[in-house]
Amino acid sequence: MVEVKLENIVKTFGETVALKGINLHVKDGELFTLLGPSGCGKSTTLRIIAGLDFADSGHLYFDDDDVTYKSSSERGAVLVFQNYALWPHMTVYDNVAYGLKVKKLPKQEIDRKVKWALELVKLQGYEDRYPTQLSGGQQQRVAIARALVVEPKLLLLDEPLSNLDAKLRLEMRSEIRRIQRELGITVIYVTHDQEEAMAISDRIAVMNIGQIEQVGTPKEIYEQPKTEFVASFMGKTNVIPAEVVERDGDKVTVRFEGFKLDGLTYTGENDKVVVVIRPERISLHPIENAVSITGKVDLIEYYGFFIEVVGLFGEMRIISRTINDRDVIGLRPQGDVTFYIEREDILVLPKTL
Ligand code: ATP
């Protein structure tokens, strides 16, 4: 187990500045996720931590050890690639045993460790199969067993589930969490899938164009996004461009499309803002002391365990979500609808995108 610190890590590829000064502190035994859209620098960060690439400037520490210029093998971190990179001509056993054979461990010890790793990923009985005789999920398990068998200080996973179908993805994500908890190992996990990040992580760093936008627990990132980018990246949410038209201390009134919302908290200087409202925080029933806006029903969509009512407020579409199908009785497309929102469920952030 190890804690990992990145201090002002910069990395360029020719003209492209892939990382613009990354600062991170991943704690001992934590499952920490780098989350962000394609090209934001997640894989580059992971490769630098693994020692497969080196930073142009900045420092990387494993505990108090400055590993910035140390080779991959000196670091004790193992990276599992998206495509698993199993050796096709080797059996499951030999794939997993490989790293131990390289270390020239006695045969008996290799045998014991391989057995342990395959048990951990629930692949006992598959020792003699070749990778082509395994499902995608099983190949992924072999790749994880092969990484864990050398007892790394740090496990790095780069989009480990992206080649699996939706059901297997869910299964393997719980498996990875179980294994991480069982071993208490530090894991840094890369994904562009916000739901996956929310489900699996102790903490998440949201990245955008070579920078960290926010670090926090899944709950903090979801409920208290600090930037417009984080708010709009974390799932289906309403991010409404608006303008501050009145201020009284840290309370403001904002306007969008002729609607005014008063008594909201905002301390930023910029009057161009976004109003962030989660669909599930919008009620179709009156709430005392809440703000309300009346518009037209644009769409009513049934998703099974919840229903979305999309309202049209001027040109602005706002999504509300309810789990109670009685809430939509009496609503019809183009008919009137009023959304009620408690002020504490409305975030006002500077417009930055
Ligand atoms: P994805 O989710 O698509 O893998 P990512 O967030 O992992 O994306 P990176 O692969 O880290 O992003 O890439 C960050 C930036 O650096 C991108 O603009 C990419 O084009 C660039 N880049 C990465 N590796 C190289 C390389 N070897 N040569 C040139 N540019 C590179």
Same-domain pairing of 177 and 312: no
Same-domain pairing of 32 and 125: yes
Reference 34, options 18, 52, 17; nearest CA is 18
Confidence of residue 66 (pLDDT cuts 50, 70, 90): very high
Same-domain pairing of 16 and 146: yes
Nearest 5°: phi and psi at 74? -75, -15
Q: Which of 182, 201, 229 corresponds to the end of one domain?
A: 229
Same-domain pairing of 224 and 245: no
Quick: pLDDT tens for 311-320. Answer: 999 999 999 9
CA of 99 to the centre of ligand 1 (A): 28
Confidence of residue 65 (pLDDT cuts 50, 70, 90): very high
CA of 211 to the centre of ligand 1 (A): 13
- Return the ligand 1 atom nearest residue 44 CA: 11
Total number of domains in the chain: 2
Same-domain pairing of 259 and 175: no
Asked if residue 191 has its Cβ within 6 Å of ligand 1, the reply is no
Q: Which of 229, 257, 278 corresponds to the end of one domain?
A: 229
What would the DSSP string read from start to end of 23-81?
EEEEPTT-EEEEE-STTSSHHHHHHHHHTSS--SEEEEEETTEE-TT--HHHHTEEEE-
Reference 72, options 9, 180, 179, 152; nearest CA is 152
Asked if residue 40 has its Cβ within 6 Å of ligand 1, the reply is yes
Quick: pLDDT tens for 139-149. Answer: 988 999 999 89
Task: Output the pTM of the full model.
Answer: 0.91
CA of 269 to the centre of ligand 1 (A): 34
Structural domain including 88 reads 4-229
- 201 C-beta neighbours (distance < 10 Å), count: 23
Q: How far is CA 68 from the centre of its chain?
A: 25
Pocket test for ligand 1, best of 42, 83, 189, 206 (most atoms within 8 A of CB): 42
Here the CATH number for the domain that contains residue 67 is 3.40.50.300
Question: Whose Cα sits closest to atom 20 in ligand 1?
Answer: 39
Same-domain pairing of 148 and 45: yes
Same-domain pairing of 13 and 91: yes
Asked if residue 18 has its Cβ within 6 Å of ligand 1, the reply is yes
Quick: pLDDT tens for 274-317. Answer: 999 999 999 999 999 999 999 999 999 999 899 999 999 999 99
Give, as one character, the DSSP assignment of residue 326: G
> Is ipTM > 0.90 here?
yes
Which class for 41: exposed (0-12), middle (13-18), buried (19 or more C-beta within 10 A)?
A: buried
CA of 48 to the centre of ligand 1 (A): 12
Same-domain pairing of 8 and 145: yes
Same-domain pairing of 271 and 335: yes
Same-domain pairing of 102 and 215: yes
